[in-house]
Amino acid sequence: MTLAVLGTGKLGGAILRGWVRAGLFAPSEIALPARASGRALAAELGARVAGSNGETVAGAEILLLAVKPYQLASVLTEVRDQLPPECLVLSVAAGVSTTALEAVLPDRQPVLRVLPNTPAQIGAAASAFCRGAAATNDHAATVTRLFSALGLCIEVAESQMDAVVGVAASGVAFVYLFLEALTDGGVRMGLPRAAARQLAAQTLVGAGQLALETGLHPMELKDAVTTPGGTTMAGIAVLESAAFRGIVMEAVRAATERSAELGRPK
Ligand SMILES: NC(=O)C1=CN([C@@H]2O[C@H](COP(=O)(O)OP(=O)(O)OC[C@H]3O[C@@H](n4cnc5c(N)ncnc54)[C@H](OP(=O)(O)O)[C@@H]3O)[C@@H](O)[C@H]2O)C=CC1
Ligand SMILES: O=C(O)[C@@H]1CCC=N1
């Protein structure tokens, strides 16, 4: 299938690298715009530099939109006349609804929103998608196939997409803060930095993998680590005295609300 990408920055690049790595698109099937980031990504992946945004989308079967939320309407307006009517439009922008996208596109253009996160580039994303008015089951199946190749992909109601930003798209950065803190904690206690970083990162990967594979409640997994009177409870008591879980939930709420704000007209 032919793919056009507008928005060749951090997330657009991560998705594209993931798809090329998974063999879903041959580099010759990918058209990128002739701007600095598009040229750089094209050179890295062997993709085609098409020219203007309009020239990029001409003939595309799938258009991936990964520009900033406030740039979406103007970019779509710019390319709508060159966009093939059957082209599946996939937006990864936080906050911007399918209704807002459809408002600037020709009638019945199939639109879906997807929210992946940056581990997409190594096939370990957590993604959720929702459908616009003209999206069919076949379109949903295409999106599921594309994003399952980059990790986990589930469908949610559009009203839940802002919460997906809070938990997964932004949530990955919250995890990196925790990773840094866990690493620094190890260094503080005398571990060499490289060893602390490796141990901390694998601890996060292993903890997540165990939760996914067993389906057990996090509390059960936590209980399996806590020897009565032991080391783990000594640490958990410190985290809880600073309302660790409450502050994480507040971070998810803040990111969710900010996502909703990004989609509101100024
Ligand atoms: N980063 C993330 O983890 C996530 C991001 N998102 C969403 O993804 C989108 C992109 O975010 P992110 O990748 O972080 O942002 P970046 O700033 O890294 O990328 C934005 C890209 O848009 C390009 N661009 C800007 N203006 C135009 C234009 N007029 N025509 C074509 N391309 C243009 C820029 O090109 P150039 O650099 O050449 O100017 C840049 O490559 C946002 O909507 C965000 O909400 C969603 C989930 C996670
Ligand atoms: O911070 C942001 O606005 C973007 C959207 C989700 C992740 N990064």
- Report the CATH number at residue 176: 1.10.3730.10
- Mean pLDDT, the chain, rounded, equals 96
CA distance 22 to 59: 23
Residue with the two structure tokens 């939109």: 65
Instruction: Tell whether 152 is covered by a domain.
Output: yes
Output the pLDDT for position 104: 95
- Assess whether the C-beta atom of 170 lies below 6 angstroms from ligand 1: no
For residue 180, how many other CB atoms are within 10 A of its CB? 12
Report yes or no on whether pTM surpasses 0.90.
yes
Tell me the sheet residues that pair with 62.
3, 88
Contact 41, 58 (CB under 8 A): no
Instruction: Tell whether 161 is covered by a domain.
Output: no
Reported as a single tens digit per residue, the pLDDT across 158-178 is: 999 999 999 999 999 999 999
Instruction: Tell whether 130 is covered by a domain.
Output: yes
- Assess whether the C-beta atom of 92 lies below 6 angstroms from ligand 1: yes
Q: Which of 11, 118, 256, 257 gets mutated to test ligand 2 (max ligand atoms within 8 A of its CB)? A: 11
Output the pLDDT for position 264: 79
My answer on whether 126 and 207 are in the same domain is no
What is the three-class DSSP state of 37?
A: helix
* Shortest-distance atom of ligand 1 to CA 65: 9
Q: Which of 10, 115, 170, 261 gets mutated to test ligand 2 (max ligand atoms within 8 A of its CB)? A: 170
Q: Which one of 129, 156, 183 terminates a domain? A: 156
Instruction: Tell whether 20 is covered by a domain.
Output: yes
Compute the half-sphere exposure of residue 9: CA atoms within 13 Å on the CB side of its CA. Answer: 7
Output the pLDDT for position 256: 98
pLDDT > 70: percent of the chain: 100
CA distance 7 to 32: 9
My answer on whether 150 and 217 are in the same domain is no
Structural domains in the chain (count): 2
CA distance 82 to 105: 11
Question: Residue range 6-27: average pLDDT?
Answer: 94
My answer on whether 49 and 123 are in the same domain is yes
Cα dist from 117 to 52, 78, 99, 255, whole Å: 27, 27, 23, 14
Q: Which of 6, 63, 65, 67 gets mutated to test ligand 1 (max ligand atoms within 8 A of its CB)? A: 67
My answer on whether 64 and 187 are in the same domain is no
My answer on whether 61 and 138 are in the same domain is yes
CA of 257 to the centre of ligand 2 (A): 12
Q: Which domain holds residue 101?
A: 3-156
Q: Which one of 89, 121, 156 terminates a domain? A: 156
Instruction: Tell whether 18 is covered by a domain.
Output: yes
My answer on whether 176 and 91 are in the same domain is no
- Assess whether the C-beta atom of 165 lies below 6 angstroms from ligand 2: yes
- Assess whether the C-beta atom of 97 lies below 6 angstroms from ligand 2: no
Reported as a single tens digit per residue, the pLDDT across 193-242 is: 999 999 999 999 999 999 999 999 999 999 999 999 999 999 999 999 99
Q: Does the annotation place 66 within a ligand binding site?
A: yes
Instruction: Tell whether 183 is covered by a domain.
Output: yes
Instruction: Tell whether 69 is covered by a domain.
Output: yes
CA distance 184 to 192: 10
Instruction: Tell whether 162 is covered by a domain.
Output: no
My answer on whether 114 and 63 are in the same domain is yes
Q: State the DSSP H helix or E strand holding residue 111, giving kind and residue range, or none if neither.
A: strand 111-115
Q: State the DSSP H helix or E strand holding residue 162, giving kind and residue range, or none if neither.
A: helix 161-164
Question: Residue range 247-257: average pLDDT?
Answer: 98
My answer on whether 19 and 113 are in the same domain is yes
My answer on whether 32 and 95 are in the same domain is yes
My answer on whether 119 and 191 are in the same domain is no
- Report the CATH number at residue 98: 3.40.50.720
Interface predicted TM-score of the whole assembly (ipTM), two decimals:
0.98
Whether the pLDDT of residue 192 is over 80: the answer is: yes
pLDDT-derived band at 121 (thresholds 50, 70, 90) equals confident
Question: Residue range 45-59: average pLDDT?
Answer: 96
Whether the pLDDT of residue 93 is over 80: the answer is: yes
Q: Is 87 exposed, middle or buried (0-12, 13-18, 19+ CB in 10 A)?
A: buried
Output the pLDDT for position 171: 98
Question: Residue range 176-203: average pLDDT?
Answer: 98
Output the pLDDT for position 183: 98
